[in-house]
Structure 1
């Protein structure tokens, strides 16, 4: 069983993490949000939000993703992650919700992704069937961009990845088995590092892990 995570415990782990940045001026800056939400009658079950991108998007359509996107000019990465989370899922979080950052991850599609870990606390699906209760925030996925949003419980996130070889690269391709499917890099790599650090206290590096060829564009 994975350990019980709290806002304070994750913040402490990330405060002691010697994160690596990627000095890649040839790539554009981007940020993604690793958003921790709580469910259950006592709001003690922690989940990580993951989305399925809409099928008609111009790039990376239908792929698994974390809320995020390009960092605007003069915008801090933590501000970009919070803005993208609000735009994609309607989840507006204060700056105090930021727990820390993971390693930068350079992508084949031209970005350096900075993962920002946030604590959202109690949330609801934000639907008529599951309206928000007092103290809960409601999710409001953005139509046309987000096909679906899921919460991954920690026991499901605590899985061993698969590493495969491809002829196009000397680096191993990571496949993270989640929800009966494979989640690939960059999302799979970022979630794997979070799992290693938050659940096991291991500063496992993932910047060298490869993406599948379909994600290179």
Structure 2
């Protein structure tokens, strides 16, 4: 699978972080993201789709959450709930630093994707960040069990998204990023929209994606 390239840019954004930055800025700049409206009981969170160079190729950071607390043991993106007065972008960048020790500023944010209405009662805002030289992650043991990297090329591969039929007639998305690595919505839905909108240039939405029952906790 090859990402669409700018004809004036000879570098492949799946293999070059600077080329990916240019591609992502262009795609997100023209993407009309949706925002979940305020409602009684709605809580908000921000997460980061953070692209860095890992093992010589552009990759997105994922985490496996600690085996205690909210979302124990689940795959996720660095992020968390908004504090009073924060924007989703501010909360996402703060949590990126608190959870895995990486510092990013507003200049590193290229844009955002659709809010995802999680079954847990959160509206999750994904922001896309590129860091050229972030240094090694330093995960907080209270929140993060481990840090992982999914290459952009793996995200773009045809065999990464799998749709599993459900008894009610719907389909459950699994982003199969490696052996025994299955990421479901909400995180899987945000990764899929990132893949489709930024890497493949398609205008898609994900708010109605099926979420496993265990994500409601």
Q: In which range does the TM-score fall when normalised by the shorter chain?
A: 0.7 to 0.9
Deviation at 1:170, TM superposition (A): 6.3
Deviation at 1:59, TM superposition (A): 2.1
Superposition TM-score, scaled by structure 1 size: 0.86
CA RMSD in angstroms comes to 1.7
Alignment-derived partner of residue 172 in structure 2: 173
Superposition TM-score, scaled by structure 2 size: 0.86
Match of 2:140 among 130, 142, 145: 142
Asked if residue 49 in structure 1 is aligned to residue 47 in structure 2, the reply is: no
Alignment-derived partner of residue 72 in structure 1: 83
Match of 2:109 among 98, 102, 111: 98
Match of 1:30 among 41, 45, 66: 45
| Residues in 2 aligned to 1:99 and 1:182: alpha-carbon distance in whole angstroms | 27
Query: Conserved in 2, the CA contact under 8 Å of 1:2 and 1:154?
Result: no
Deviation at 1:67, TM superposition (A): 0.3
Between 137-146 and 29-38, the greater mean CA deviation after superposition: 137-146
Query: Conserved in 2, the CA contact under 8 Å of 1:47 and 1:154?
Result: yes
Deviation at 1:210, TM superposition (A): 1.3
Which secondary structure state, in structure 2, belongs to the residue aligned with residue 142 of structure 1?
coil
Which secondary structure state, in structure 2, belongs to the residue aligned with residue 92 of structure 1?
coil
Asked if residue 17 in structure 1 is aligned to residue 17 in structure 2, the reply is: no
Residue segments in structure 2 that go unaligned for 5+ positions in a row: 4-11, 14-19
Which secondary structure state, in structure 2, belongs to the residue aligned with residue 121 of structure 1?
coil
Runs of 4+ in 1 over 6 A off after TM superposition: none
The structure in which a higher percent of residues are strand is: 1
Asked if residue 121 in structure 1 is aligned to residue 132 in structure 2, the reply is: yes
Query: Conserved in 1, the CA contact under 8 Å of 2:156 and 2:200?
Result: no
Residue segments in structure 1 that go unaligned for 5+ positions in a row: 124-136
